[in-house]
Chain A
Protein backbone atom coordinates (compact mmCIF):
# COMPACT_ATOMS: atom_id res chain seq x y z
CA UNK A 1 0.00 0.00 0.00
CA UNK A 2 1.39 3.36 -0.97
CA UNK A 3 0.92 5.95 1.74
CA UNK A 4 -0.65 9.32 1.20
CA UNK A 5 2.60 10.92 2.37
CA UNK A 6 4.50 9.10 -0.33
CA UNK A 7 2.02 10.26 -2.97
CA UNK A 8 2.25 13.80 -1.66
CA UNK A 9 5.99 13.55 -2.03
CA UNK A 10 5.64 12.48 -5.69
CA UNK A 11 3.21 15.33 -6.30
CA UNK A 12 5.71 17.72 -4.77
CA UNK A 13 8.42 16.50 -7.13
CA UNK A 14 6.04 17.24 -9.99
CA UNK A 15 5.46 20.68 -8.48
CA UNK A 16 1.78 20.57 -7.59
CA UNK A 17 -0.49 19.53 -4.76
CA UNK A 18 -3.93 17.94 -4.47
CA UNK A 19 -6.54 17.80 -1.72
CA UNK A 20 -7.00 14.86 0.65
CA UNK A 21 -9.91 13.34 -1.23
CA UNK A 22 -7.94 13.40 -4.46
CA UNK A 23 -5.06 11.57 -2.79
CA UNK A 24 -7.51 8.93 -1.55
CA UNK A 25 -8.81 8.36 -5.08
CA UNK A 26 -5.23 8.09 -6.30
CA UNK A 27 -4.39 5.59 -3.56
CA UNK A 28 -7.23 3.39 -4.79
CA UNK A 29 -6.01 3.71 -8.36
CA UNK A 30 -2.49 2.78 -7.34
CA UNK A 31 -3.75 -0.32 -5.61
CA UNK A 32 -5.56 -1.38 -8.78
CA UNK A 33 -2.80 -0.75 -11.28
CA UNK A 34 -0.09 -2.25 -9.09
CA UNK A 35 -2.19 -5.38 -8.64
CA UNK A 36 -2.68 -5.59 -12.39
CA UNK A 37 1.03 -5.06 -13.01
CA UNK A 38 1.80 -7.81 -10.45
CA UNK A 39 -0.23 -10.20 -12.58
CA UNK A 40 1.60 -9.04 -15.67
CA UNK A 41 4.94 -9.74 -14.04
CA UNK A 42 3.87 -13.32 -13.44
CA UNK A 43 3.00 -13.91 -17.11
CA UNK A 44 4.98 -16.74 -18.62
CA UNK A 45 7.96 -15.72 -20.69
CA UNK A 46 7.49 -11.99 -20.18
CA UNK A 47 11.09 -11.40 -19.15
CA UNK A 48 12.37 -12.73 -22.47
CA UNK A 49 10.45 -10.11 -24.43
CA UNK A 50 12.22 -6.96 -25.50
CA UNK A 51 10.19 -3.92 -24.37
CA UNK A 52 8.57 -2.04 -27.25
CA UNK A 53 8.94 1.72 -27.27
CA UNK A 54 7.75 2.60 -30.74
CA UNK A 55 4.97 1.22 -32.99
CA UNK A 56 7.27 -0.10 -35.73
CA UNK A 57 10.85 0.43 -36.92
CA UNK A 58 11.37 3.44 -39.16
CA UNK A 59 13.86 2.65 -41.88
CA UNK A 60 13.57 5.78 -43.99
CA UNK A 61 14.66 8.31 -41.39
CA UNK A 62 17.90 10.09 -42.14
CA UNK A 63 19.52 12.61 -39.84
CA UNK A 64 19.32 16.06 -41.29
CA UNK A 65 21.88 18.75 -40.80
CA UNK A 66 21.31 21.19 -37.99
CA UNK A 67 20.57 24.33 -39.89
CA UNK A 68 18.70 27.43 -38.87
CA UNK A 69 15.72 27.64 -41.21
CA UNK A 70 13.15 29.53 -39.21
CA UNK A 71 13.44 31.87 -36.30
CA UNK A 72 10.91 33.37 -33.95
CA UNK A 73 11.15 37.04 -33.13
CA UNK A 74 11.69 38.23 -29.57
CA UNK A 75 8.14 39.57 -29.57
CA UNK A 76 6.76 36.18 -30.60
CA UNK A 77 8.73 34.37 -27.93
CA UNK A 78 7.49 36.72 -25.22
CA UNK A 79 3.94 36.93 -26.57
CA UNK A 80 2.54 34.52 -24.00
CA UNK A 81 4.64 35.60 -21.05
CA UNK A 82 2.84 37.45 -18.28
CA UNK A 83 5.89 39.00 -16.61
CA UNK A 84 8.40 40.73 -18.86
CA UNK A 85 11.23 43.05 -17.98
CA UNK A 86 13.36 44.61 -20.72
CA UNK A 87 12.75 41.87 -23.30
CA UNK A 88 13.30 39.16 -20.71
CA UNK A 89 11.08 36.87 -18.68
CA UNK A 90 10.93 38.27 -15.17
CA UNK A 91 11.21 35.91 -12.19
CA UNK A 92 12.11 36.46 -8.52
CA UNK A 93 15.75 36.70 -7.63
CA UNK A 94 17.42 33.32 -7.34
CA UNK A 95 20.51 34.53 -5.52
CA UNK A 96 19.93 36.97 -2.71
Chain B
Protein backbone atom coordinates (compact mmCIF):
# COMPACT_ATOMS: atom_id res chain seq x y z
CA UNK B 1 0.00 0.00 0.00
CA UNK B 2 1.42 3.37 -1.05
CA UNK B 3 -1.49 5.83 -0.92
CA UNK B 4 -1.48 5.93 2.89
CA UNK B 5 2.12 7.19 2.88
CA UNK B 6 3.45 10.76 2.78
CA UNK B 7 3.92 12.59 -0.52
CA UNK B 8 7.71 12.33 -0.11
CA UNK B 9 7.50 8.55 0.30
CA UNK B 10 5.12 8.10 -2.62
CA UNK B 11 7.29 10.38 -4.78
CA UNK B 12 10.37 8.30 -4.01
CA UNK B 13 8.52 5.09 -4.87
CA UNK B 14 7.36 6.60 -8.17
CA UNK B 15 10.82 7.90 -9.03
CA UNK B 16 12.35 4.52 -8.21
CA UNK B 17 9.73 2.88 -10.43
CA UNK B 18 8.48 0.66 -7.61
CA UNK B 19 4.99 1.79 -8.49
CA UNK B 20 3.29 3.63 -11.37
CA UNK B 21 0.73 6.42 -11.33
CA UNK B 22 -1.83 4.03 -12.72
CA UNK B 23 -1.22 1.55 -9.90
CA UNK B 24 -1.55 4.36 -7.33
CA UNK B 25 -4.84 5.42 -8.88
CA UNK B 26 -6.15 1.86 -8.74
CA UNK B 27 -4.98 1.45 -5.16
CA UNK B 28 -6.79 4.65 -4.17
CA UNK B 29 -10.07 3.87 -5.90
CA UNK B 30 -10.07 0.27 -4.66
CA UNK B 31 -9.64 1.49 -1.11
CA UNK B 32 -12.23 4.23 -1.62
CA UNK B 33 -14.75 1.65 -2.86
CA UNK B 34 -13.93 -0.73 -0.03
CA UNK B 35 -14.50 1.94 2.62
CA UNK B 36 -17.43 3.68 0.93
CA UNK B 37 -20.28 1.49 2.28
CA UNK B 38 -19.32 2.38 5.85
CA UNK B 39 -17.76 5.84 5.78
CA UNK B 40 -19.42 7.38 2.72
CA UNK B 41 -16.60 9.83 1.96
CA UNK B 42 -17.34 10.13 -1.75
CA UNK B 43 -20.13 11.38 -3.97
CA UNK B 44 -18.23 10.18 -7.05
CA UNK B 45 -15.33 7.76 -7.36
CA UNK B 46 -13.71 8.06 -10.79
CA UNK B 47 -12.94 4.93 -12.74
CA UNK B 48 -10.69 6.04 -15.55
CA UNK B 49 -7.02 6.81 -15.03
CA UNK B 50 -5.72 9.81 -16.96
CA UNK B 51 -1.99 9.77 -17.68
CA UNK B 52 -0.35 12.95 -16.37
CA UNK B 53 2.78 14.79 -17.36
CA UNK B 54 3.28 17.35 -14.61
CA UNK B 55 6.69 18.56 -13.63
CA UNK B 56 6.03 18.96 -9.92
CA UNK B 57 6.39 16.77 -6.87
CA UNK B 58 2.65 16.05 -7.16
CA UNK B 59 2.93 14.38 -10.57
CA UNK B 60 0.99 11.09 -10.52
CA UNK B 61 -0.01 11.57 -6.87
CA UNK B 62 -3.70 10.76 -6.26
CA UNK B 63 -5.99 13.17 -4.41
CA UNK B 64 -9.65 13.94 -3.72
CA UNK B 65 -11.66 17.12 -4.21
CA UNK B 66 -14.62 18.37 -2.21
CA UNK B 67 -17.75 18.19 -4.34
CA UNK B 68 -18.18 21.95 -4.42
CA UNK B 69 -15.24 22.51 -6.80
CA UNK B 70 -16.30 22.82 -10.40
CA UNK B 71 -14.80 20.00 -12.50
CA UNK B 72 -15.55 20.05 -16.21
CA UNK B 73 -17.50 16.97 -17.33
CA UNK B 74 -17.39 15.45 -13.82
CA UNK B 75 -20.58 15.46 -11.72
CA UNK B 76 -20.42 18.22 -9.08
CA UNK B 77 -23.36 18.24 -6.71
CA UNK B 78 -22.47 20.45 -3.74
CA UNK B 79 -24.03 17.48 -1.92
CA UNK B 80 -27.43 19.00 -2.64
CA UNK B 81 -30.47 17.55 -4.35
CA UNK B 82 -30.85 20.77 -6.28
CA UNK B 83 -27.57 20.03 -8.06
CA UNK B 84 -27.71 16.24 -8.00
CA UNK B 85 -27.26 15.95 -11.77
CA UNK B 86 -25.14 19.02 -12.39
CA UNK B 87 -22.11 18.53 -14.64
CA UNK B 88 -19.96 21.68 -14.83
CA UNK B 89 -18.74 23.10 -18.11
CA UNK B 90 -15.56 24.62 -16.71
CA UNK B 91 -12.77 23.85 -14.22
CA UNK B 92 -12.15 25.55 -10.89
CA UNK B 93 -8.70 27.16 -10.87
CA UNK B 94 -7.51 24.97 -7.97
CA UNK B 95 -8.48 21.85 -9.92
CA UNK B 96 -6.86 23.16 -13.10
CA UNK B 97 -3.62 23.88 -11.24
CA UNK B 98 -3.53 20.40 -9.73
CA UNK B 99 -4.15 18.89 -13.16
CA UNK B 100 -1.31 20.92 -14.63
CA UNK B 101 0.90 19.84 -11.73
CA UNK B 102 0.18 16.23 -12.65
CA UNK B 103 -1.88 15.27 -9.59
CA UNK B 104 -4.51 12.61 -10.28
CA UNK B 105 -8.10 13.15 -9.16
CA UNK B 106 -9.67 9.97 -7.74
CA UNK B 107 -13.01 11.32 -6.59
CA UNK B 108 -15.29 14.07 -5.37
CA UNK B 109 -16.02 14.08 -1.66
CA UNK B 110 -19.18 14.53 0.38
CA UNK B 111 -19.86 17.82 2.15
CA UNK B 112 -22.62 19.29 4.26
CA UNK B 113 -25.15 20.52 1.74
CA UNK B 114 -23.68 23.51 -0.14
CA UNK B 115 -20.95 23.66 2.56
CA UNK B 116 -23.39 25.10 5.10
CA UNK B 117 -23.03 22.92 8.17
CA UNK B 118 -20.55 21.49 10.61
CA UNK B 119 -21.56 17.87 11.06
CA UNK B 120 -21.12 16.02 7.77
CA UNK B 121 -24.68 14.73 8.13
CA UNK B 122 -26.68 16.84 5.67
CA UNK B 123 -25.45 15.64 2.27
CA UNK B 124 -28.01 14.35 -0.23
CA UNK B 125 -26.05 11.07 -0.37
CA UNK B 126 -26.07 10.44 3.38
CA UNK B 127 -23.94 10.92 6.47
CA UNK B 128 -20.14 10.69 6.60
CA UNK B 129 -18.78 8.52 9.42
CA UNK B 130 -15.63 9.13 11.43
CA UNK B 131 -12.81 6.72 10.45
CA UNK B 132 -11.75 6.42 14.10
CA UNK B 133 -15.21 5.42 15.32
CA UNK B 134 -18.07 4.91 12.94
CA UNK B 135 -20.63 5.82 15.60
CA UNK B 136 -19.26 9.36 15.56
CA UNK B 137 -19.45 12.16 13.03
CA UNK B 138 -16.29 13.65 11.51
CA UNK B 139 -17.60 17.19 11.35
CA UNK B 140 -18.00 19.38 8.35
CA UNK B 141 -18.54 20.80 6.07
CA UNK B 142 -15.52 19.21 4.32
CA UNK B 143 -16.44 15.84 5.85
CA UNK B 144 -15.57 13.46 3.01
CA UNK B 145 -12.21 15.08 2.29
CA UNK B 146 -11.20 14.77 5.96
CA UNK B 147 -12.36 11.15 6.11
CA UNK B 148 -10.64 10.18 2.85
CA UNK B 149 -7.29 11.49 4.09
CA UNK B 150 -7.77 10.03 7.59
CA UNK B 151 -8.54 6.61 6.08
CA UNK B 152 -5.38 6.70 3.96
CA UNK B 153 -7.29 6.62 0.67
CA UNK B 154 -5.37 9.63 -0.65
CA UNK B 155 -2.39 11.59 0.73
CA UNK B 156 -4.20 14.88 0.27
CA UNK B 157 -7.59 16.39 -0.45
CA UNK B 158 -8.98 19.86 -0.96
CA UNK B 159 -11.73 21.44 1.08
CA UNK B 160 -13.26 24.84 1.65
CA UNK B 161 -13.48 26.69 4.96
CA UNK B 162 -15.96 29.49 5.74
CA UNK B 163 -16.07 29.20 9.56
CA UNK B 164 -13.99 26.12 10.39
CA UNK B 165 -15.06 23.68 7.67
CA UNK B 166 -11.54 22.35 7.08
CA UNK B 167 -9.94 22.80 10.48
CA UNK B 168 -12.69 21.24 12.64
CA UNK B 169 -13.09 18.00 10.64
CA UNK B 170 -9.28 17.78 10.42
CA UNK B 171 -9.17 17.78 14.21
CA UNK B 172 -11.94 15.17 14.53
CA UNK B 173 -10.21 13.00 11.91
CA UNK B 174 -6.62 13.21 13.17
CA UNK B 175 -5.25 14.94 10.07
CA UNK B 176 -3.67 18.28 9.20
CA UNK B 177 -6.12 20.92 7.93
CA UNK B 178 -4.93 24.24 6.54
CA UNK B 179 -6.83 27.35 5.54
CA UNK B 180 -4.34 29.83 4.06
CA UNK B 181 -4.64 33.61 3.93
CA UNK B 182 -7.80 34.86 2.20
CA UNK B 183 -6.99 35.10 -1.49
CA UNK B 184 -3.88 32.92 -1.32
CA UNK B 185 -5.68 30.23 -3.34
CA UNK B 186 -8.18 31.18 -6.04
CA UNK B 187 -11.87 30.60 -5.32
CA UNK B 188 -12.78 30.62 -9.00
CA UNK B 189 -15.02 27.62 -9.57
CA UNK B 190 -15.69 27.00 -5.88
CA UNK B 191 -19.44 27.12 -5.21
CA UNK B 192 -19.81 30.30 -3.19
CA UNK B 193 -21.23 30.06 0.35
CA UNK B 194 -20.23 33.37 1.99
CA UNK B 195 -17.81 35.10 -0.34
CA UNK B 196 -16.12 37.35 2.21
CA UNK B 197 -15.35 34.34 4.43
CA UNK B 198 -14.80 31.48 1.95
CA UNK B 199 -11.31 29.98 1.64
CA UNK B 200 -9.89 27.05 -0.32
CA UNK B 201 -7.60 24.84 1.75
CA UNK B 202 -6.07 21.42 2.23
CA UNK B 203 -6.14 18.17 4.18
CA UNK B 204 -2.93 16.14 4.51
CA UNK B 205 -1.36 13.79 7.04
CA UNK B 206 1.69 15.97 7.70
CA UNK B 207 2.64 19.64 7.40
CA UNK B 208 5.26 19.19 4.68
CA UNK B 209 2.60 17.71 2.41
CA UNK B 210 0.44 20.77 3.09
CA UNK B 211 3.31 23.00 1.96
CA UNK B 212 3.79 20.91 -1.20
CA UNK B 213 0.15 21.27 -2.16
CA UNK B 214 -0.21 24.96 -1.28
CA UNK B 215 2.98 25.74 -3.23
CA UNK B 216 1.19 24.40 -6.30
CA UNK B 217 -2.16 26.07 -5.60
CA UNK B 218 -1.16 29.58 -4.52
CA UNK B 219 -0.93 32.59 -6.77
CA UNK B 220 -2.88 35.36 -8.41
CA UNK B 221 -5.71 34.35 -10.69
CA UNK B 222 -7.25 36.82 -13.09
CA UNK B 223 -10.54 34.99 -12.63
CA UNK B 224 -10.64 35.82 -8.90
CA UNK B 225 -9.87 39.48 -8.24
CA UNK B 226 -9.35 38.81 -4.52
CA UNK B 227 -6.34 36.55 -5.09
CA UNK B 228 -2.96 37.69 -3.83
CA UNK B 229 0.11 38.02 -6.04
CA UNK B 230 2.41 35.02 -5.73
CA UNK B 231 5.17 35.95 -3.34
CA UNK B 232 7.57 33.63 -5.23
CA UNK B 233 8.40 31.92 -1.96
CA UNK B 234 8.40 28.15 -1.69
CA UNK B 235 6.66 27.26 1.56
CA UNK B 236 8.42 23.90 1.56
CA UNK B 237 11.75 25.73 1.61
CA UNK B 238 10.69 27.69 4.70
CA UNK B 239 9.77 24.68 6.83
CA UNK B 240 13.17 24.23 8.44
CA UNK B 241 13.53 27.89 9.47
CA UNK B 242 14.45 28.56 13.09
CA UNK B 243 11.47 29.04 15.40
CA UNK B 244 13.31 29.79 18.64
CA UNK B 245 11.86 32.90 20.23
CA UNK B 246 8.62 32.83 18.26
CA UNK B 247 5.92 34.24 20.49
CA UNK B 248 2.44 32.75 20.66
CA UNK B 249 -0.65 33.56 22.71
CA UNK B 250 -3.73 31.64 23.69
CA UNK B 251 -7.03 33.13 24.89
CA UNK B 252 -7.23 32.60 28.63
CA UNK B 253 -11.02 32.90 28.81
CA UNK B 254 -11.35 29.87 26.54
CA UNK B 255 -8.32 27.79 27.54
CA UNK B 256 -7.63 28.17 31.27
CA UNK B 257 -8.74 25.00 33.01
CA UNK B 258 -9.84 26.91 36.13
CA UNK B 259 -12.59 28.53 34.03
CA UNK B 260 -14.18 25.11 33.83
CA UNK B 261 -13.91 24.12 37.51
CA UNK B 262 -17.64 23.40 37.68
CA UNK B 263 -17.64 21.35 34.50
CA UNK B 264 -18.15 17.61 34.57
CA UNK B 265 -17.27 17.27 30.89
CA UNK B 266 -14.27 14.98 31.17
CA UNK B 267 -13.50 15.09 27.47
CA UNK B 268 -13.28 18.88 27.62
CA UNK B 269 -11.00 18.75 30.65
CA UNK B 270 -8.79 16.08 29.05
CA UNK B 271 -8.58 18.13 25.86
CA UNK B 272 -7.48 21.21 27.80
CA UNK B 273 -4.97 19.16 29.79
CA UNK B 274 -3.51 17.83 26.54
CA UNK B 275 -3.34 21.39 25.22
CA UNK B 276 -1.41 22.74 28.20
CA UNK B 277 0.88 19.69 28.32
CA UNK B 278 1.73 20.23 24.66
CA UNK B 279 2.34 23.94 25.24
CA UNK B 280 4.93 22.99 27.86
CA UNK B 281 6.64 20.73 25.33
CA UNK B 282 6.57 23.45 22.69
CA UNK B 283 8.15 25.88 25.12
CA UNK B 284 11.04 23.45 25.49
CA UNK B 285 11.89 23.74 21.78
CA UNK B 286 11.92 27.50 21.91
CA UNK B 287 8.36 28.79 21.53
CA UNK B 288 7.41 31.51 24.00
CA UNK B 289 3.74 31.01 24.84
CA UNK B 290 1.49 32.93 27.19
CA UNK B 291 -2.18 33.48 27.87
CA UNK B 292 -3.86 36.79 27.08
CA UNK B 293 -7.28 38.07 28.06
CA UNK B 294 -9.89 39.18 25.58
CA UNK B 295 -13.23 40.73 26.57
CA UNK B 296 -15.61 37.80 27.02
CA UNK B 297 -18.52 39.76 25.54
CA UNK B 298 -16.51 40.14 22.35
CA UNK B 299 -15.63 36.43 22.31
CA UNK B 300 -19.27 35.51 22.87
CA UNK B 301 -20.24 37.73 19.96
CA UNK B 302 -18.11 35.77 17.44
CA UNK B 303 -20.67 33.06 16.73
CA UNK B 304 -23.80 35.20 16.31
CA UNK B 305 -21.77 37.60 14.14
CA UNK B 306 -20.52 34.69 12.05
CA UNK B 307 -24.03 33.30 11.62
CA UNK B 308 -25.38 36.71 10.67
CA UNK B 309 -22.74 37.45 8.04
CA UNK B 310 -22.56 33.95 6.57
CA UNK B 311 -26.34 33.43 6.31
CA UNK B 312 -26.83 36.83 4.71
CA UNK B 313 -24.13 36.18 2.10
CA UNK B 314 -25.35 32.62 1.49
CA UNK B 315 -28.93 33.69 0.85
CA UNK B 316 -27.80 35.98 -1.89
CA UNK B 317 -25.19 33.59 -3.36
CA UNK B 318 -27.63 30.72 -3.74
CA UNK B 319 -30.45 32.67 -5.36
CA UNK B 320 -29.36 31.26 -8.74
CA UNK B 321 -30.44 27.74 -7.78
CA UNK B 322 -33.86 27.70 -9.38
CA UNK B 323 -34.08 24.47 -11.35
CA UNK B 324 -34.58 26.46 -14.54
CA UNK B 325 -31.15 26.69 -16.20
CA UNK B 326 -29.78 23.71 -14.30
CA UNK B 327 -30.88 21.32 -11.59
CA UNK B 328 -34.01 19.16 -11.48
CA UNK B 329 -37.03 20.96 -12.91
CA UNK B 330 -39.84 21.66 -10.48
CA UNK B 331 -43.49 21.18 -11.32
CA UNK B 332 -45.96 23.99 -11.80
CA UNK B 333 -47.93 26.09 -14.21
CA UNK B 334 -45.84 29.25 -14.02
CA UNK B 335 -42.11 29.97 -13.78
CA UNK B 336 -42.62 31.02 -10.18
CA UNK B 337 -44.38 27.76 -9.34
CA UNK B 338 -41.63 25.76 -11.01
CA UNK B 339 -38.90 27.54 -9.08
CA UNK B 340 -40.87 27.31 -5.84
CA UNK B 341 -41.28 23.57 -6.26
CA UNK B 342 -37.64 23.02 -7.30
CA UNK B 343 -36.31 24.94 -4.31
CA UNK B 344 -38.75 23.38 -1.83
CA UNK B 345 -37.73 19.88 -2.93
CA UNK B 346 -34.09 20.69 -3.69
CA UNK B 347 -32.93 22.15 -0.38
CA UNK B 348 -32.87 20.32 2.93
CA UNK B 349 -34.23 21.78 6.15
CA UNK B 350 -30.98 23.14 7.57
CA UNK B 351 -30.09 25.38 4.68
CA UNK B 352 -33.66 26.58 4.25
CA UNK B 353 -33.52 27.78 7.84
CA UNK B 354 -30.18 29.47 7.16
CA UNK B 355 -31.54 31.17 4.04
CA UNK B 356 -34.54 32.55 5.92
CA UNK B 357 -32.26 33.89 8.65
CA UNK B 358 -30.13 35.48 5.95
CA UNK B 359 -33.09 37.02 4.21
CA UNK B 360 -34.42 38.45 7.47
CA UNK B 361 -31.00 39.92 8.27
CA UNK B 362 -30.87 41.64 4.89
CA UNK B 363 -34.31 43.27 5.13
CA UNK B 364 -33.82 47.02 5.09
CA UNK B 365 -35.34 47.47 8.56
CA UNK B 366 -33.01 44.85 10.09
CA UNK B 367 -29.73 45.70 8.41
CA UNK B 368 -28.50 48.22 10.96
CA UNK B 369 -29.17 46.09 14.02
CA UNK B 370 -28.15 42.75 12.55
CA UNK B 371 -26.01 42.87 9.43
CA UNK B 372 -24.05 46.03 10.21
CA UNK B 373 -23.59 45.18 13.89
CA UNK B 374 -22.21 41.77 12.89
CA UNK B 375 -19.75 43.58 10.62
CA UNK B 376 -18.79 45.81 13.54
CA UNK B 377 -18.10 42.79 15.74
CA UNK B 378 -16.05 41.36 12.91
CA UNK B 379 -13.89 44.46 12.83
CA UNK B 380 -13.55 44.62 16.62
CA UNK B 381 -12.30 41.04 16.93
CA UNK B 382 -10.00 41.32 13.90
CA UNK B 383 -8.55 44.60 15.19
CA UNK B 384 -7.94 42.98 18.58
CA UNK B 385 -6.15 39.98 17.03
CA UNK B 386 -4.08 42.23 14.75
CA UNK B 387 -3.11 44.31 17.78
CA UNK B 388 -1.94 41.13 19.52
CA UNK B 389 -0.07 40.10 16.37
CA UNK B 390 2.12 43.17 16.82
CA UNK B 391 3.55 41.42 19.86
CA UNK B 392 2.95 37.78 19.01
CA UNK B 393 3.72 35.71 15.91
CA UNK B 394 0.63 33.56 16.26
CA UNK B 395 -2.39 32.43 18.25
CA UNK B 396 -2.45 28.84 19.50
CA UNK B 397 -5.70 27.22 20.63
CA UNK B 398 -7.32 23.82 21.01
CA UNK B 399 -9.19 23.28 17.74
CA UNK B 400 -12.27 22.12 19.63
CA UNK B 401 -13.33 21.65 23.23
CA UNK B 402 -13.50 17.89 22.81
CA UNK B 403 -13.59 14.91 20.51
CA UNK B 404 -15.89 14.15 17.58
CA UNK B 405 -19.44 13.85 18.93
CA UNK B 406 -21.62 10.79 18.51
CA UNK B 407 -24.34 11.06 15.89
CA UNK B 408 -27.30 12.79 17.47
CA UNK B 409 -25.24 14.54 20.15
CA UNK B 410 -24.47 17.53 17.99
CA UNK B 411 -26.68 19.24 15.52
CA UNK B 412 -26.37 22.44 13.58
CA UNK B 413 -29.32 23.93 15.40
CA UNK B 414 -28.43 27.28 16.92
CA UNK B 415 -27.69 27.06 20.62
CA UNK B 416 -27.97 29.69 23.34
CA UNK B 417 -24.83 28.33 24.99
CA UNK B 418 -21.75 30.37 24.35
CA UNK B 419 -19.08 27.90 23.34
CA UNK B 420 -15.95 29.91 22.66
CA UNK B 421 -13.79 26.81 22.24
CA UNK B 422 -16.11 25.55 19.53
CA UNK B 423 -16.43 28.80 17.66
CA UNK B 424 -13.16 30.71 17.87
CA UNK B 425 -11.92 29.52 14.48
CA UNK B 426 -14.26 31.90 12.67
CA UNK B 427 -11.72 34.56 13.70
CA UNK B 428 -9.48 33.14 10.97
CA UNK B 429 -12.23 33.72 8.40
CA UNK B 430 -13.21 37.15 9.70
CA UNK B 431 -9.65 38.42 9.27
CA UNK B 432 -8.49 36.10 6.48
CA UNK B 433 -5.66 34.86 8.71
CA UNK B 434 -3.73 31.70 7.74
CA UNK B 435 -4.78 28.97 10.17
CA UNK B 436 -3.78 25.34 10.55
CA UNK B 437 -4.95 22.43 12.67
CA UNK B 438 -2.44 19.71 13.61
CA UNK B 439 -3.32 16.49 15.45
CA UNK B 440 -2.10 16.71 19.04
CA UNK B 441 -3.12 13.50 20.78
CA UNK B 442 -6.01 11.25 21.71
CA UNK B 443 -8.83 11.56 24.22
CA UNK B 444 -10.95 8.44 24.68
CA UNK B 445 -9.18 6.90 21.66
CA UNK B 446 -10.31 9.76 19.43
CA UNK B 447 -7.91 12.31 17.90
CA UNK B 448 -7.88 15.95 18.99
CA UNK B 449 -6.06 18.89 17.45
CA UNK B 450 -4.24 22.13 18.11
CA UNK B 451 -4.90 25.17 15.95
CA UNK B 452 -2.30 27.78 15.03
CA UNK B 453 -3.30 31.07 13.40
CA UNK B 454 -0.83 33.66 12.12
CA UNK B 455 -0.62 37.08 10.52
CA UNK B 456 -2.25 37.75 7.19
CA UNK B 457 -0.02 36.75 4.24
CA UNK B 458 2.44 34.94 6.56
CA UNK B 459 1.39 31.48 5.40
CA UNK B 460 5.02 30.38 5.21
CA UNK B 461 5.69 31.39 8.81
CA UNK B 462 2.59 29.50 10.00
CA UNK B 463 3.60 26.37 8.10
CA UNK B 464 7.16 26.68 9.44
CA UNK B 465 5.91 26.86 13.04
CA UNK B 466 3.40 24.05 12.47
CA UNK B 467 6.11 21.86 10.95
CA UNK B 468 8.28 22.24 14.02
CA UNK B 469 5.30 21.66 16.34
CA UNK B 470 4.29 18.50 14.53
CA UNK B 471 7.56 16.83 15.57
CA UNK B 472 6.68 17.45 19.21
CA UNK B 473 2.99 16.60 19.01
CA UNK B 474 3.82 13.06 17.91
CA UNK B 475 0.85 12.45 15.60
CA UNK B 476 2.54 12.81 12.21
CA UNK B 477 1.26 10.58 9.37
CA UNK B 478 -1.30 8.73 11.45
CA UNK B 479 -3.91 6.76 9.53
CA UNK B 480 -7.20 5.56 10.96
CA UNK B 481 -7.54 1.84 10.48
CA UNK B 482 -11.18 1.98 9.47
CA UNK B 483 -13.37 -1.07 9.37
CA UNK B 484 -13.60 -2.85 6.10
CA UNK B 485 -16.84 -3.40 4.31
CA UNK B 486 -18.62 -6.42 5.72
A: residues with CB less than 8 A from B are 2, 7, 10-11, 13-18, 22, 25-26, 28-30, 32-33, 35-37, 39-41, 43, 46-47, 49-56, 58, 60-61, 64, 72, 76-77, 79-83, 89, 91-92, 94
Contact B432 A55 (CB under 8 A): yes
Q: A83 and B329 in contact (CB under 8 A), knowing A37-B308, A64-B222, A92-B338? A: yes
Please, which residues of chain B bring their CB within 8 A of the CB of A60?
228-229
- List 14 A-B residue pairs with CB atoms under 8 Å apart, sorted by A's residue number: A17-B344, A18-B344, A33-B357, A39-B297, A46-B380, A51-B372, A52-B376, A55-B429, A58-B226, A61-B225, A79-B89, A80-B325, A82-B329, A92-B332
Q: How many interface contacts (CB-CB < 8 Å) are there between A and B?
A: 164
Please, which residues of chain B bring their CB within 8 A of the CB of A28?
413-414
Determine whether B343 belongs to the interface, using a CB cutoff of 8 Å to chain A.
Answer: yes
Contact A51 B352 (CB under 8 A): no
Contact A40 B340 (CB under 8 A): no
Contact A89 B333 (CB under 8 A): no
Contact B356 A11 (CB under 8 A): yes
Complex Cα–Cα for A32 and B293 (A): 26
Contact A36 B304 (CB under 8 A): yes
B interface bracket (residues with beta carbon within 8 Å of A): 35 or more
Closest to B297 in A: A43
Contact B228 A43 (CB under 8 A): no
**Which of B303, B338, B431 has a CB less than 8 Å from the CB of A91?**
B338
Contact A51 B359 (CB under 8 A): no
Determine whether B456 belongs to the interface, using a CB cutoff of 8 Å to chain A.
Answer: yes
**Which of A35, A37, A89 has a CB less than 8 Å from the CB of B416?**
A35
Determine whether B315 belongs to the interface, using a CB cutoff of 8 Å to chain A.
Answer: yes
Determine whether B339 belongs to the interface, using a CB cutoff of 8 Å to chain A.
Answer: yes
Please, which residues of chain A bring their CB within 8 A of the CB of B303?
36
Contact B352 A18 (CB under 8 A): yes
Contact A15 B340 (CB under 8 A): yes
Complex Cα–Cα for A36 and B322 (A): 33
Identify whether the interface residues of A are mostly helix, strand, loop, or mixed.
loop
Q: Mark B273-309, 1 if CB is under 8 A from A, else 0.
A: 0000000000000000000000001101101110110
Please, which residues of chain B bring their CB within 8 A of the CB of A32?
414-416
Q: A50 and B379 in contact (CB under 8 A), knowing A13-B359, A43-B301, A80-B326? A: yes
Determine whether B46 belongs to the interface, using a CB cutoff of 8 Å to chain A.
Answer: no
Q: What's the nearest-Cβ distance from chain B to residue A27, in Å?
A: 10
Please, which residues of chain A bring their CB within 8 A of the CB of B379?
49-52
Closest to A48 in B: B376
Q: A7 and B356 in contact (CB under 8 A), knowing A40-B301, A40-B304, A46-B373? A: yes
Q: Mark B4-45, 1 if CB is under 8 A from A, else 0.
A: 000000000000000000000000000000000000000000
CB contact list, B319-343 vs A, under 8 A = 322-329, 332-336, 338-340, 343
Q: A33 and B297 in contact (CB under 8 A), knowing A26-B356, A58-B183? A: no
Q: A76 and B89 in contact (CB under 8 A), knowing A22-B353, A37-B304, A49-B376? A: yes
Contact A25 B338 (CB under 8 A): no
Complex Cα–Cα for A29 and B338 (A): 29
Contact A53 B196 (CB under 8 A): yes
**Which of A25, A41, A56 has a CB less than 8 Å from the CB of B413?**
A25
Q: What's the nearest-Cβ distance from chain A to residue B338, in Å?
A: 7
Contact A33 B414 (CB under 8 A): yes
Contact A77 B335 (CB under 8 A): no
Determine whether B86 belongs to the interface, using a CB cutoff of 8 Å to chain A.
Answer: yes
8 closest residue pairs by CB, A with B: A55-B432, A51-B375, A80-B326, A52-B379, A36-B304, A16-B343, A49-B376, A76-B89
Complex Cα–Cα for A2 and B357 (A): 12
What 13 new A-B contacts, CB under 8 Å, besides A22-B349, A29-B414, A39-B300? A14-B356, A16-B343, A39-B297, A40-B304, A47-B376, A50-B376, A51-B371, A51-B374, A51-B376, A53-B375, A55-B433, A60-B229, A92-B338
Q: What's the nearest-Cβ distance from chain B to residue A2, in Å?
A: 8
**Which of A10, A16, A17, A37 has a CB less than 8 Å from the CB of B373?**
A37
Contact A56 B352 (CB under 8 A): no
Complex Cα–Cα for A53 and B335 (A): 34
Contact A10 B414 (CB under 8 A): no
